[in-house]
Copies of this chain bind each other. A is one copy, B any other.
Amino acid sequence: MDFEKLIQEFPFIQELSSTDMFGFLEHTREVKLSAGDVFLEQGSRKGSIYFIKSGLVRSFYTDDKGEEITNRLRCENEVLSSYEIDLFNEPSRFTFQALEPTELISIDSAVMRKLLDDNPRLEQVRRYFMKKTISECLSAIDDFILLSPEKRYLKFITEYPQLINRVPMKYIANMLGITPVSLSRIRKRIASKKH
């Protein structure tokens, strides 16, 4: 794992003492997943915080008609977890699934919470992730308010070029808040504009 990149992604690491770091690392474990594996189920109260060493993960919601609606995609060097379990002590509203062979480093959410609660110096870690979450959410809301579906798609492909060829378009359509059929038409429109 590229340590430089890690620090760049998670600047708070530099501020942690090696004691803190080891105290944290001894509770982590590695998980190897195959494409399609589900590792956290909608409704579960027990979950972990996952760092993606390699691979690709989606989280999705299953609606009353049994339709799966993808709401997040995360790939290597990113962190994800259930907001419900981590922040609100509620059952996860989403299922987490690997879309590729995936290696995760996980730490149980309850254990992590205890670590953070017991060691105030780790507070910055919690704050870092909460701030990051807020930042991402605010940006997503802005996009829904200010941009058309087409603009949102264009923004998506420039912002996450590494994802477009790795996941089904219908997952992206879900995240943009439109139907897969509509996304297909948008893509056609864009392609024809570039003649």
A144 at the interface (CB under 8 A from B): yes
Does A145 lie within 8 Å of B69, measured CB to CB? yes
Majority SS at the chain A contact face: helix
Bound CA–CA A130/B131 (angstroms) = 8
Q: Interface on A for B, CB 8 Å cutoff? A: 63, 69, 71, 83, 87-88, 120, 123, 126-127, 130-131, 133-135, 137-138, 140-142, 144-146, 174-175, 177
Copies in the complex: 2
Quote the shortest CB–CB distance from A136 to chain B (angstroms). Answer: 9
Note all chain B residues with C-beta closer than 8 A to A69. Answer: 145-146
Known contacts A69-B145, A71-B145, A130-B130: A138-B83 contact under CB 8 Å: yes
Contacts of A87 in B (CB 8 A): 131, 134-135
Which of B120, B126, B131, B138 is the one whose CB lies under 8 Å from A137?
A: B138
Q: Which residues of B contact A131 (CB under 8 A)?
A: 87-88, 130
A71 neighbours in B (Cβ, 8 Å): 141-142, 145
Point out the residues of chain B lying under 8 angstroms from A83, CB to CB. Answer: 134, 138
If A120-B120, A133-B134, A138-B83 touch, does A144 touch B177 (CB 8 Å cutoff)? Answer: yes
Considering only CB atoms, which chain B residue lies closest to A121 in the complex? B120
Q: How far apart are A123's CB and chain B's nearest CB, in angstroms? A: 6
Q: Nearest chain-B residue to A87 (Cβ)? A: B131
Q: What is the chain B residue whose CB lies nearest that of A177?
A: B145
Interface centre among A131, A135, A141 (most CB of B within 10 A): A141
| Residues of chain B lying within 8 A (CB to CB) of residue A138 | 83, 137
CA distance A135 to B127 in the complex (A): 15
